[in-house]
Amino acid sequence: MPERPDYPSLIAGHTVVLDMINNGDAGLPVLHHLLRLAQRALGAAGTSFAEYGPTSGRIIAAAGAAEWSIGRPVDLGDPVTAQLLAGPRTVEFPVTALSAEQADQIAGRGLHRMLTARAEIGGVLIGSLHAYYPDLDGEASPEHHTLIAYLSSHIAHMYGDQSGLPVHGDGPVVAALADGLAIIDDESCVRLWNPAAERLTGSLARERLHRPIPFPVPPSGQVVDHQQPDGRWLRVTSGELPGFVASRVVTFRDISDQHRRDHDVDLFIAVTSHELRTPVTVIKGYAETLGDHWDSLSDQERREAARVLGQRATELARLVDRLLAAANDAGPVAGGRLATFDLAETLRAAVDTLPAELRRRLTVDLPPELPKAFGDRSSLATVLTELATNADKYSPGSTPVELTATADERTVVFRISDRGIGVHPEHVERAFDRFWQGESGDQRRYPGAGLGLYLVRQIVERQHGWVSLRPRDGGGTVAQVRLPRG
């Protein structure tokens, strides 16, 4: 191995690389030239670059005596690779430190030592640069270590620019290593803490090194989900670190969104089974009563049973529609056509579709010259039904539910007001969340799936309007819907 790098070759070769980049060259052609430059400047017999993915790596470019290795897979579990990942930026070792197969292949070409540097962006490992030497015992000088680290950083910048690189995959080469990565010792103290770990935990490396890892670590090969103090969820995995005594690699990623989705699925199933059970039980009971006791029932009893069956079937169909719409995250307006329409006429028609008991409670006060609205006329029946049903459910039957409307220069407004239990100011936004209920569990006094207001907001906002709740002076709630004027 030469005593010092060949700096004139470095300068001349680097000028060519810059000219290539300025002329629009990118990707593998530039990388190949950088490897030939590295070979000359480092006095190596050959050079190669391995690009790493989430679970494996591959030699994508090589020069000199290492050209044969292009396309060769790289085992990320190899002790030398693990050492590069966890240790100093550059590592020198005899090829006999590699797996037997790799050592035989490299040594069979007269190459016996390797000088390696990792290429990383922001602490995320994307690959490694290798220089091969025939020397059995010679050691690289500090200048050689500095130079190979310098050249590997140039390759890393090529990846950062995504100029024809990475060769494999669509995004950053090791997207998985955007996950948190830590190396811990046998006492669970941190030896390595990458930038992604800092972002995910809010704990800087200088604060975390040589201190216990701040969450539970599962046994090797297992997974554990951990909730942080800020409410976010991490999925933590661990594995043994090959080549190191009593050390483990710990990786973790933010799964808060997935956790919320899983929670929503579980909640959807629970709510669905609970809310469907009541109308189905009533329908089944009345149907059995009619089938088993038809002859003994009076005409009035049969008509009452048929009325209840129809009412419950309507409730069931409406509930199924709401559940399906919520599950698909799409309100009934998804396929509607936005146009100018008569809001007062539309609201009066929608009132006629409400259940008879609710119509009897509803007082309607719509001004005769109410301006037209712009939106999806067909969806207003759903909006009115949900808001009026909500008001009916949360207010005494002896009090009225009021439908009123007004307009200003840009919007038309209709309101559903009740004299019920009211809405807490801190709940006026949460009430629009999917599946949210002001009461839960055995303490719930009011049935419902927690979907009505969620669907109303979806429908109204897709018409470029908005909906809000507020406590009513003197008690009760006002639900207000604003739509653009036509």
DSSP string, 369-380: TPPPEEE-GGGH
The pLDDT, as a whole number, for residue 437 is 61
Q: How far, in Å, are 227, 248, 251, 438 from residue 235 at the CA level? A: 9, 16, 8, 31
Both tokens of 178, joined, read 């955007």
Both tokens of 452, joined, read 């009505």
What is the rounded distance in angstroms from the CA atom of residue 246 to the CA atom of residue 425? 55
The pLDDT, as a whole number, for residue 160 is 67
CA 475 to chain centre: 41
What is the rounded distance in angstroms from the CA atom of residue 457 to the CA atom of residue 73? 53
Spatial contact of 468 and 414, defined as CB atoms under 8 Å apart? no
The pLDDT, as a whole number, for residue 170 is 35
DSSP letter for 436, please: -
The pLDDT, as a whole number, for residue 115 is 94
Both tokens of 450, joined, read 């927690």
Residues 6+ apart with CB under 8 A from 293: none
Helix (H) or strand (E) holding 143: helix 142-161
From first to last of its 486 residues, the chain has per-residue pLDDT tens of 788 898 888 888 888 888 887 777 777 788 888 999 999 999 999 999 988 876 677 888 889 999 888 878 787 777 777 777 777 889 898 988 888 878 888 988 899 999 999 888 766 778 899 999 998 777 889 999 999 999 998 888 887 665 567 665 433 443 444 578 888 888 889 888 877 888 888 888 888 888 999 999 998 778 888 998 888 889 898 877 654 456 788 888 888 877 766 666 665 565 555 556 657 777 887 888 888 888 888 988 888 888 888 877 876 776 676 666 655 554 444 445 789 999 999 999 989 878 788 888 999 999 989 999 999 888 888 888 889 988 988 899 889 999 999 998 888 999 999 999 888 876 777 788 776 665 443 334 444 456 778 878 888 888 888 888 888 888 999 999 999 998
The pLDDT, as a whole number, for residue 478 is 93
Sheet holding 401-407, edge to edge: 362-365, 401-407, 411-417, 477-484, 466-471
What is the rounded distance in angstroms from the CA atom of residue 106 to the CA atom of residue 190? 35
The residues with which 374 forms a beta bridge, in sequence order, are 340
Residue 252's nearest CA partner among 213, 279, 303 is 213
Both tokens of 286, joined, read 């009345």
Helix (H) or strand (E) holding 317: helix 299-327
Residues 6+ apart with CB under 8 A from 299: none
The pLDDT, as a whole number, for residue 47 is 96
Spatial contact of 478 and 417, defined as CB atoms under 8 Å apart? yes
Question: Among all chains, which residue has been given the structure tokens 């990707």?
Answer: 27
3-state helix, strand, coil in the chain (%, to 5): 45, 25, 35
DSSP letter for 189, please: B
What is the rounded distance in angstroms from the CA atom of residue 315 to the CA atom of residue 271? 15
